[in-house]
Every structure is written in structure tokens, then in C-alpha cells.
Amino acid sequence: MLGKNIPVKNSLQNGVILAATATQLPVITQLISKESLAAAGTEGFIIRSVNYQGKKIILITANSDIGILYGSFHFLRLLQTQQPVSKLEIISSPSLQLRLLNHWDNLDRYVERGYAGMSIWNWHTLPDYIDLRYKDYARANASIGINGVSLTNVNANAMVLTKAYLAKCAALANIFRPYGIKVYLTARFSAPIEIGNLKTADPLNDTVRQWWNNKAKEIYEAIPDFGGFLVKANSEGQPGPQNYGRDHADGANMLADAVAPYKGIVMWRAFVYSQQSTDRFKQAYEEFKPLDGKFRKNVLVQVKNGPIDFQPREPFSPLFGAMDQIPLMMEFQLTQEYLGQGTHLVYEAPLFKEVLEADTYAKGKGSTVAKVIDGSLYGHSLNGMAGVSNIGNNRNWTGHLFGQANWYALGRLAWNYNLNSEQIADEWIRQTFTNERSFVTTIKKIMLSSHETMVNYMTPLGLHHIMGNGHHYGPAPWSDNLPRPDWNPVYYHQADSFGIGFDRTVRGTNALAQFAPEIRKQYEDINTCDEKYLLWFHHVSWKHKMKSGLTLWEELCAKYYKAVDDIKAIQQQWNSLKNYVDAERFQHVQQLLTIQVKEAIWWRNACLLYFQTFSKMSIPDKYEQPDKSLKYYKSLRFPYAPGN
Ligand code: GCV
């Protein structure tokens, strides 16, 4: 980057790259129009080939230092992916303002649902010891446009808000600042009691409110550009305003008022499920929809992409399109809790795109989820997207090398949600491995098919939440021993002698009524319902004729068997690429694919053998029959599966 005092004139040659803001280099205002600069906005950039003093140079400019950094990273991306750079005409600005990673990292360095080792934050040695990885982390995030990090688990520990820990957070914030990354913290609702010695955490109590005001002041003294709070409240045992007979808006507004003087925000999660409702699907909507309009201006409600919980495939959450008074922020999960955890190659961009492009019909056709979250549908200026981090202290950051692609995809889509999954995969492959065409083509094919393949060997045709209890590892559709019915797989598949699937139509729980009439109509009718969501919304006879002409039972078998064939094909494709990848990375992925194939077979056999006890139909002879019994699959135990 050029500083003010660098003698530009004398150093100019053809092909030189200038990276500067107009303040640093006033001549830029003669080379770039006001309109173009305005279009780049505060964080965006312009990369343009220009003639300057008779020389053809490449100019990277922006309205801010961070814009220059993003522009420089983008230029490097062009070089690394071998794009032509002779005639550049790029103006790029982010689709979304808040582009965040949410770490679920505990203060003891254990990462909830983490499959890449321990937390990269070494709280014990902070703030005095600065691990170089913190800087690498910040640089990697900036290179894909991430501009905020919530450091700790949403199942929060109030200790992170104490003076000693704030100093540690401040040390991280200092490292991240030059990379345009703000620090956010998870606020445990009961912190005033736990670390403030108060008797209550009631959000309408003046002493409690004052405690949070003081806490915010203390945080901003330590971290002047602190972003704000991320909160999980009254969900899965976390304390919240409902403990005091208040609602989510009361809780969020108290925190919002505390950070407002410093321009801080509150991201209040909608991942809640009360015991009252007839269907877990409906619970977030039931709690939050009535509160629309009651939140402060600096609050966003952060909604998981689907109504249940990051399942291999979910319809979009009906909250998108249902609340128009408050900005809704998207929460995707990078860490693969239900997507093969640390051992399955699953490229998530197609999942993200499926959700972002889904039409809510909230304001007629074209009211996509993307337009809800970028604020354009309802005219909100605050907007954002978060990914639950898949990063740990593993040498390759994400445990599975291909997990990096999901981190990359989140950043790229938060910057520009119009990019498609193929483009993003293409960029990532070229920057991670090589530009060699046959390699890029094969890996792209692998990545682009991997999500669908995983859906089909785990939960085809709209099955969901049939994994093992607690650790969520492997299949356990038979499981029915948890105290809450809606924690148990049997609640979700509802298999019986008639058929399988959850009836959410008007004859069932009527969860479909939470969607716009256009969607409801489409899904309500078993004949028009997209088959990929069939068992999400219908209890379907085993003999039901599918579009393929097969019965539901036959189709279920076909999906499971094809998915196993597909993952075996992916394994072979990887094996064919040995000469393009260094031995270490080749073997790493090869070994993980061996596990993935084994586990895909496990899912298929366990699920089909179990569902067969209801359908009483045989697995067609043309398929290789399961070599183990249902009893065997049911007997498997994994007490130390990671991430719980
Ligand atoms: C952080 C699921 C996960 C929990 C997670 C929770 C959440 O229930 O299994 O580990 O807790 O989602 O998103 O809050």
C-alpha cells in the first residue's frame, strides 16, 4: 500500500500496481469518477487498469484502508486463480454489512461441536503471549471479507466479561483491528448475578440495567471498537429474560441500550424451543413473530437457516419473511455437527445457496431469503450473516482440509451472495491446490455433488434429526429415550406400519401455515411438494408412488444405495488425483474418504434395517444386502465422540 510520502512519479512503470485511497493519493480523483468511488462504499474497492502519466498501471483504490486491503486480496485472488489482469474494471462492495464467524469456543479451550482440535484462543497465555496464529487467522479472514468474530460459545460463560478476560479479548482485538475485524462477545444473561453479585438478572430491574451499562462502558474502555453482544437466551438451559417473566425483546433491548452509546449492536438468537408447542418446527416463529416491532434499532435477530437445527437439508426457517420490523441475520453452521462432523467431505456452499435463493413470497414472487437478510426487502440498513466456526488449533485449521472450503464459502457469500457454488469452489481449489485444469474440474465435481450425496446417505427425501443422541454422531433413528420427545429421532420420522414422515400439513401440526400461502400451497399437496422435502411435511405411505414410478420404500432404498455408490465414486476420483497433490494432503483426504464411505454404508444399513421393521418390505435383491444386523447397529456406543 502506498503511503502519502512515497514518490509515485519516479517509481511508475508499465504494469505497476498502485494501491491507495484518494486521500493518500489525490490524483485518484482524476482517474476514478465520484460515482465509482461512491459505488465502492465504505468497505468496497475498485480495481481498474488505467493510463497514468503515459503508463498503463493497475490501480487498486477504495474509500478506506480496509477497502484497499480487501481490494489487494481480491487482486491476489485474480493472480492466484490465473484470471486475466490486463483490462480490469472491477467495483466490488459487500452484500452484507456484518460478516461474522461465531466461535463456539469455551474458556477451557474445548470447542462445542468442534472437530478441529482445541480452541485457537489460548486464554491462559493471553494477553501477554500473542500466538502468531492469531494474526494468520485475522489475515485469512480479511482475505475473504470476514469483518467480525464472536470469540466464545453462545452457551456462554460470564467470566469472559470479567476484567481479566476483557484484557485478553482486547489483546485479540488489537491484532484483528488492522484487518478490519471487530470482536463481539457472548453475553450470559445471568452475568449480573454470577460476576456482579446481584440477586437478579431481570432486564427491567434498574440495578441490573445499570450493571450492564457499566459493563458496556468497561468493555469499550478496553476495546474501543467492540462490536457488541451475541446472545443465546432461554434455550437449552441458558438463562434469559423469561426466567423473570419478561420476553426476548425486553432482554435484547436492555443489552442494546447498554451498547447503543458506543454504536454497538446485539445479535439475539432465535434458536429457542419451548416445551409448549405441538411441533419443534414451529417454536422459534411462535416466540419471535409476536415480538416483531418491539426491538431496539441496534438489535438483529439471528436465525438459523432452517426451523430445526442445521440438518443435512432443511426448508428455510419460516421466520425469514415473517418479521418485517427487525433485521434478521442469517446463521449458518460451518462446523459439521450433523454433516459428517470432522471426517466427511461436504462442501456447504450449495446448502447456503439453496437457502439464500429460496423464495419466501413475503412481498410477492422474488422475495428471496437473501433479500430478507440484506435488508432490501423491508428497508433495513443493518444486516448480516454469521457462520458457526469450524476452526480449531489443528495444523490445517479445520481438521478436514475441505472444511476450509466452507469457511471460504461463508466469507465469499457474505461478501457477494450472488456468487455461485461453482465459482466459489473454483476459486478455492485453485488457491488451495493448483490451477491444473483436469484437477480443478474433478475436484469441483466432487465438491459440488458432495452435499447432495451426504443428504442422501443420511436423511434422504426430507428425513431429519435421526442421528445419535448427544454427540449427534452416526445414525440412531430408533432412539427414543431422551426426556423431551422433540429431542428424539422417533419424534421426527414418525415411522409406523402405514408409512413415514412428519405431517406438518393442516391435517397434522399445520406448521406449513407459518409460510406464505404460495409455499404452503406447494408443500401442502403431496403431489406438488418437492420430494426433497416430502418427509419434512407429510406422513407418507410406504406404497406411495413417487415421481420416479417407484414406491416410497423402493425410492428410499434407491436413494440410500445410490448415495453410497456416489461417495465411492468420489473416493475413486480422489484416488485418481494422486499425482496432483502432495503426499501429505493426498493421504489425509484419502484416509478420511475411507471413513466417509464406511460411515455412509453404516447410515444406509442402519436406517434401512430399522425402517424395514415398519415397512415390512424387503430391500430389493439387486442391492448388496446389509452385512450386519439391526441389533448390531443399535448396540454401537460412542461415549467419547468429539464436540458434545
Ligand atoms: C451451542 C444445537 C447444538 C448445540 C448448540 C445449539 C445452539 O443444539 O447441538 O451444541 O449449542 O445447537 O445453536 O445453540
**What CA–CA distance (Å, rounded) separates 461 from 341?**
21
- Nearest protein Cα to ligand 1, atom 2: 309
pLDDT for the residue numbered 3: 37
Q: Is the CB of 155 under 6 A from ligand 1?
A: yes
Give the position, in ligand 1's atom list, of the atom nearest the Cα of 472. Answer: 9
Q: Is the CB of 309 under 6 A from ligand 1?
A: yes
pLDDT for the residue numbered 76: 97
* Best probe residue, ligand 1, of 113, 332, 487 (max atoms within 8 Å of C-beta): 113
Q: Is the CB of 465 under 6 A from ligand 1?
A: no
Question: How many of the other CB atoms lie within 10 Å of CB of 15?
Answer: 12
User: Ligand 1 centroid to 614 CA: how many Å?
Assistant: 31
* CA proximity to 181, closest of 130, 232, 223, 230: 223
Residue pointed to by grid coordinates 493497475: 58
Do 58 and 49 form a contact (C-beta atoms < 8 A)?
yes
**What CA–CA distance (Å, rounded) separates 511 from 281?**
7
Q: 26-69, pLDDT tens digit by residue?
A: 999 999 999 999 999 999 999 999 998 888 999 999 999 999 99
**What CA–CA distance (Å, rounded) separates 562 from 5?**
64
Cα→Cα distances 299→49, 105, 377, 386, Å: 41, 23, 17, 15
Q: Is the CB of 112 under 6 A from ligand 1?
A: yes
User: Ligand 1 centroid to 510 CA: how many Å?
Assistant: 25
Please report which residue ranges of 433-474 form alpha helices under DSSP H.
437-458
**What CA–CA distance (Å, rounded) separates 557 from 642?**
30
Give the position, in ligand 1's atom list, of the atom nearest the Cα of 104. Answer: 1
Q: 501-554, pLDDT tens digit by residue?
A: 999 999 999 999 999 999 999 999 999 999 999 999 999 999 999 999 999 999
**What CA–CA distance (Å, rounded) separates 282 from 514?**
8
Question: Longest C-alpha distance within the chain, in Å?
Answer: 83
> Which residues, given as ranges, of the chain have pLDDT below 70?
1-12
* Best probe residue, ligand 1, of 104, 231, 236, 337 (max atoms within 8 Å of C-beta): 236
- Nearest protein Cα to ligand 1, atom 11: 155
* CA proximity to 320, closest of 284, 277, 279: 284
**What CA–CA distance (Å, rounded) separates 267 from 189?**
13
Backbone angles phi, psi at 152, to 5 degrees: -125, 165
Do 446 and 456 form a contact (C-beta atoms < 8 A)?
no
**What CA–CA distance (Å, rounded) separates 184 from 164?**
16
Question: How many of the other CB atoms lie within 10 Å of CB of 494?
Answer: 16
Backbone angles phi, psi at 642, to 5 degrees: -75, 165
Q: Is the CB of 271 under 6 A from ligand 1?
A: yes
Q: Output 306-311 pairs: Cβ under 8 A, ≥24 positions apart.
A: 306/355, 307/280, 307/281, 307/282, 307/511, 308/280, 308/281, 308/464, 308/465, 308/492, 309/271, 309/338, 309/465, 310/337, 310/338, 310/339, 310/388, 311/338, 311/459, 311/464, 311/465
User: Ligand 1 centroid to 337 CA: how many Å?
Assistant: 9
Instruction: For residue 74, give the H/E element and its range.
Output: helix 65-80
User: Ligand 1 centroid to 505 CA: how many Å?
Assistant: 27
Give the position, in ligand 1's atom list, of the atom nearest the Cα of 238. Answer: 14
- Nearest protein Cα to ligand 1, atom 8: 309
User: Ligand 1 centroid to 335 CA: how many Å?
Assistant: 11
Q: Is the CB of 232 under 6 A from ligand 1?
A: yes
* CA proximity to 407, closest of 374, 392, 454, 418: 392
Give the position, in ligand 1's atom list, of the atom nearest the Cα of 388. Answer: 13
Cis peptide before 483 (omega within 30 of 0): no
Kindly list the catalytic residues. 236, 309, 337
Q: Is the CB of 104 under 6 A from ligand 1?
A: yes
Do 605 and 563 form a contact (C-beta atoms < 8 A)?
no
Do 4 and 24 form a contact (C-beta atoms < 8 A)?
yes
* CA proximity to 228, closest of 120, 381, 93, 384: 384
Q: Is the CB of 156 under 6 A from ligand 1?
A: no
User: Ligand 1 centroid to 189 CA: how many Å?
Assistant: 17
Q: Is the CB of 444 under 6 A from ligand 1?
A: no
Give the position, in ligand 1's atom list, of the atom nearest the Cα of 304. Answer: 13
- DSSP 3-state of 441: helix
**What CA–CA distance (Å, rounded) separates 341 from 349?**
16
pLDDT for the residue numbered 12: 63
User: Ligand 1 centroid to 339 CA: how many Å?
Assistant: 14
**What CA–CA distance (Å, rounded) separates 272 from 375?**
23
Cα→Cα distances 325→229, 377, 461, 509, 563, Å: 20, 11, 34, 27, 42
Give the position, in ligand 1's atom list, of the atom nearest the Cα of 644. Answer: 10
* CA proximity to 644, closest of 239, 153, 271, 150: 153
Encode 549-609 in three state secondary structure.
CCEHHHHHHHHHHHHHHHHHHHHHHHHCCHHHCCHHHHHHHHHHHHHHHHHHHHHHHHHHH
List of E strands, 443-527: 499-500
- DSSP 3-state of 416: coil
* Best probe residue, ligand 1, of 102, 103, 104, 273 (max atoms within 8 Å of C-beta): 104
User: Ligand 1 centroid to 388 CA: how many Å?
Assistant: 10
R_g of the chain, CA atoms, integer Å: 26
pTM: 0.97
* CA proximity to 556, closest of 446, 448, 447, 455: 455
pLDDT for the residue numbered 274: 79
* CA proximity to 425, closest of 439, 443, 398: 443
